[in-house]
Amino acid sequence: MKRRSGFAVMVRLIGLVEPLAGFMALAVLMGLAGHLCASFITILGGYAALVLLGFDMTFKPEAIFICVLAFAALRAILRYAEQSCNHFIAFKLLALIRNKVFLALRKLCPAKLEGRDKGDLISVITSDIELLEVFYAHTISPAAIALFYTAVMCLFIGSFHPALGLLALLAYLTVGIAIPAAASKASGGDGMAFRTEAGSLSAFVLDSLRGLSETIQYGRGGERLIQMEERTDALSETERRLKRTAGRNTAVTNTAILLFDLCMLFVSAALYQKAEVDFAGVLIPTVALFSSFGPAVALANLGSTLQNTFAAGNRVLDILDETPAVQEVEGKKKTVFEGADARNVSFSYGAETILDGVSLRIPKGDIIGIVGRSGSGKSTLLKLFMRFWDVGDGRLEISGREIAGINTADLREMEGFMTQETHLFHDSIRSNLRIAKPDATDAELEAACRKASIHDFIMGLPRGYDTPVGELGDTLSGGERQRLGLARAFLHDAPFLLLDEPTSNLDSLNEAVILKSLREGQEGKTVLLVSHRQSTMRISDAVYSAERLSRTEGRAFQKEKAIGEV
């Protein structure tokens, strides 16, 4: 995780406001006018007191009364309008930020997201982004309002005497900037620690829910509960430190306001004794300062929460700034599938070498099988053909063109990939299948499911193709999920099929039906088939060993013998 300063995070977050800059300016203007109305209600009260005491003032009591009523009404209207505008900006920006994050995740997947805690990602997408609402609705415009408001009030108070204006400026800077900065520094890394621990707890809870049956089976519920309590207690302790800092910040702020109010009274009184100001120069500046700390206090109250907000912003920016392992390609000449090749390909996950100098020819229209022990790189080779990662050395080619130079959209259109684990969304069978082809007709769905030997099972369900599959497809067996995944691949109807253990969870009868569909329904399609089963490899035109990737010549009889040797 990249550690950015609070200022750097703030600048980046403010930059995201650009599409709504006009609304932000309107919110600042209304907020400034509203705070001035609120302050001048009190100030006008001071002038009314002077009139009642018999001082010769240009203000008439009736005019003061009318102005107070008008300012009160305007204050209510402007306050409502400002808050409405700020929250419109905040929630609109949160939607834009979520959209940016989802786009970034799509580009980062799967290379940069493999192995990352899904619970932590959920925490970023939900609670971290939601926390930015405080920044956009209650930080940016209050800070701008405080700046302009401070200038107006310093000029007003300073009109009685420059020293009083400087004292007011010192008071606003102390309450609005110095105290929040000190509170933020006092929080240290608690804000980032809180967001990180919250994400870790979310990941732990999600992991515990998914593994609930195993936890119960092996009697580890008590141990898991203790671990969850320990994480929760650690999170509560971090939150307690943040709350304690917030409480201290509030106490210091209120004390500073009281002291500056007394200072204004004493300084103006001293100037009155020196005849440098009249009685109005004592009463009005003091009353004005009393009533004018609202914007500064709003900033002071943010001091202890900004660490938490900036920590959340930092985690969001980490995703937005992450460089994809594979850059999408567009604007190239369209490619038509005419076969594929791997030429001296090497690939590593970090320091672990998975493929080393692999060469493989996949002629158009053939079924090519790959066998080998677990961890030998069979699945990795398929993912490289999908360009989930770029190769370290060597070349992967389709139709004689390196895949890194083929339009990403063309590559996805030419290839159909079935993984070992079929993910099903919490939706109907029909919707899960149509991920492969959104405009697929019912006839196309049925044809694909018949090829995958799953149609009869679906029709036996109460709602047929409209039957919900449950979260992660947990209402279906592993074999049923696998056949739905294979139906997706058939429905996509790509000329190059990449099948990773397509029959591993199937019985012999369903395996035979699917293999027959692959062979008879091939219709010029090219298949790269990974499997541990010798029976699955019987339909292959050629078989390679993942350890040697040496071509095994011949057809069924010779190939079966070669597989035994592998």
Residue 5 is predicted with a pLDDT of 64
Question: Is residue 519 included in any domain, yes or no?
Answer: yes
- d(CA 247, CA 243) in angstroms, rounded, equals 6
**Percentage, residues of the chain above pLDDT 70:** 90
Any idea what the CATH number is for the domain that residue 382 is in?
Answer: 3.40.50.300
Residue 566 is predicted with a pLDDT of 32
| Count of structural domains, the chain | 2
**Percentage, residues of the chain above pLDDT 90:** 17
Question: Is residue 201 included in any domain, yes or no?
Answer: no
Check whether residue 421 and residue 275 sit in a common domain: no
Average pLDDT, the chain: 82
Check whether residue 297 and residue 345 sit in a common domain: no
Question: Is residue 209 included in any domain, yes or no?
Answer: no
Phi then psi for residue 167, to 5 deg, are -65, -40
**Enclosing H/E stretch for 349:** strand 340-349
Task: State pLDDT tens for residues 276-294.
Answer: 998 888 999 999 998 888 8
| DSSP SS3 for 2 | coil
Mean pLDDT, residues 36-41 taken together: 90
pLDDT band at 146 (very low <50, low <70, confident <90, very high): confident
Lowest mean pLDDT: which of 199-203, 261-265, 541-545?
Answer: 199-203
Mean pLDDT, residues 24-37 taken together: 91
pLDDT band at 57 (very low <50, low <70, confident <90, very high): low
Question: Is residue 498 included in any domain, yes or no?
Answer: yes
Domain enclosing residue 312, as ranges: 6-193+238-321
pLDDT surpassing 90 at residue 29: yes
Task: State pLDDT tens for residues 165-208.
Answer: 999 999 999 988 888 777 767 666 666 677 778 778 877 887 78
DSSP symbol at 343:
E
pLDDT surpassing 80 at residue 558: no
Residue 152 is predicted with a pLDDT of 93
Residue 115 is predicted with a pLDDT of 65
pLDDT surpassing 60 at residue 555: no
**What angle, rounded to 10 degrees, do the helices at 6-15 and 129-138 form?**
80
Check whether residue 305 and residue 344 sit in a common domain: no
Residue 299 is predicted with a pLDDT of 73
Check whether residue 452 and residue 493 sit in a common domain: yes
Please measure the distance between the N-terminal and C-terminal CA atoms of the chain and give it in whole angstroms.
44
pLDDT surpassing 60 at residue 72: yes
Question: Is residue 334 included in any domain, yes or no?
Answer: no
Q: How many CB atoms lie within 10 A of CB 120?
A: 21
Residue 162 is predicted with a pLDDT of 93
Check whether residue 71 and residue 147 sit in a common domain: yes
pLDDT band at 560 (very low <50, low <70, confident <90, very high): very low
pLDDT surpassing 60 at residue 549: no
Task: State pLDDT tens for residues 82-106.
Answer: 888 888 888 888 888 888 888 888 8
pTM: 0.66
- Among 175-189, 200-214, 424-438, 520-534, name the most confident range: 424-438
Question: Is residue 111 included in any domain, yes or no?
Answer: yes
Residue 7 is predicted with a pLDDT of 67
Any idea what the CATH number is for the domain that residue 253 is in?
Answer: 1.20.1560.10
- d(CA 548, CA 544) in angstroms, rounded, equals 8
Let me know how long the chain is. 566
**Enclosing H/E stretch for 263:** helix 221-273
Task: State pLDDT tens for residues 42-52.
Answer: 888 888 888 87
Residue 565 is predicted with a pLDDT of 33
Check whether residue 276 and residue 355 sit in a common domain: no
Residue 260 is predicted with a pLDDT of 92
Mean pLDDT, residues 409-424 taken together: 86
